């Protein structure tokens, strides 16, 4: 049998593939939660009537969205240790993904907030709610519902972007694949298997996003 097509490497190194897959899922979930929280805060700052908050939010989005993800990850992986703050590859990769993805989620949520009828927030403010209370209880729940498909698309991008952890020894799926490929000299089957693992995560999410988009279109 031609070793080029030797997919038995999956069974020979099953434990390493599963370890990398598990770490990829874990970092994706943590980065999603972190980026949604940070992105929501940035989105509220972006539309805040307080000028300084608006400027901070705008600067964050424009700066982070226009630099490579690799630079953001290296900021944590190489920058923090140079300041005396020890950090491992997994943590630095996760933080980099949170900071980077949050800039895109912030823009999606900002669009959702602006899509909520102004009368809703005006009614809330006239009933005595503060700006933050209005955002928390009235506007944001509606905005996030509107932008769920967009957040779903960002989750798909986030899962694919986890491969950046391989450059900082982040123990993700791609990192394990690099090690297995180096040990077996079978790059084609190894990376084909890795691609299938990624598809196992992204294809169901893609169908879910399309379903939400169709459902939201019908509700309008």
Q: What's the CA gap between 97 and 70, in Å, rounded?
A: 9
Name residues whose C-beta falls within 8 Å of residue 199's C-beta, 6 or more positions apart in sequence: none
Give a three-class secondary structure readout of 198-212: HHHHHHHHHHHHHHH
Q: What's the CA gap between 137 and 10, in Å, rounded?
A: 49
Q: What's the CA gap between 184 and 9, in Å, rounded?
A: 8
Which numeric CATH code is attached to 3-219? 1.10.3720.10
Q: Domain locations in the chain?
A: 3-219
115 vs 22, higher pLDDT: 22
Q: At what angle do helices 14-46 and 148-161 cross, to 10 degrees?
A: 140
Which pLDDT band holds residue 4 (cuts at 50, 70, 90)? low
Structure token pair of residue 3: 């070793």
CB 157 within 8 A of CB 137: no
71 pLDDT exceeds 90? yes
User: So what's the pLDDT on residue 128?
Assistant: 82
Q: Give me the count of residues in the chain.
A: 220
Q: What is the mean pLDDT of the chain?
A: 91
Q: What's the CA gap between 78 and 88, in Å, rounded?
A: 10
For 115-157, the pLDDT digits (tens) are: 888 888 888 888 888 878 888 888 888 888 889 889 999 999 9
């Amino acid at each position: 049998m031609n070793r080029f097509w030797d997919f038995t490497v999956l069974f020979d190194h099953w434990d390493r593939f599963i370890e990398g897959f598990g770490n990829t899922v874990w970092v994706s979930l943590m980065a999603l939660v972190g980026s949604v929280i940070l992105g929501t805060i940035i989105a509220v700052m972006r539309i805040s009537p307080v000028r300084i908050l608006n400027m901070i939010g705008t600067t964050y989005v424009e700066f982070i969205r226009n630099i490579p993800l690799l630079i953001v990850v290296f900021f944590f992986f190489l920058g923090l240790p140079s300041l005396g703050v020890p950090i491992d590859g997994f943590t630095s990769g996760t933080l980099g993904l949170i900071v980077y993805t949050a800039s895109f989620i912030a823009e999606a949520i900002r669009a959702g907030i602006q899509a909520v009828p102004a009368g809703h927030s005006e009614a809330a403010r006239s009933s005595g709610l503060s700006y933050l209370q209005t955002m928390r209880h009235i506007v944001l729940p509606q905005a996030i519902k509107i932008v769920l498909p967009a957040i779903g698309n960002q989750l798909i991008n986030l899962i694919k972007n986890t491969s950046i952890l391989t450059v900082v020894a982040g123990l993700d799926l791609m990192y394990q694949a690099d090690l297995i490929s180096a040990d077996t000299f079978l790059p084609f089957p190894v990376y084909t298997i890795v691609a299938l693992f990624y598809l196992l995560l992204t294809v169901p999410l893609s169908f879910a996003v399309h379903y939400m988009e169709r459902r939201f279109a019908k509700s309008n």
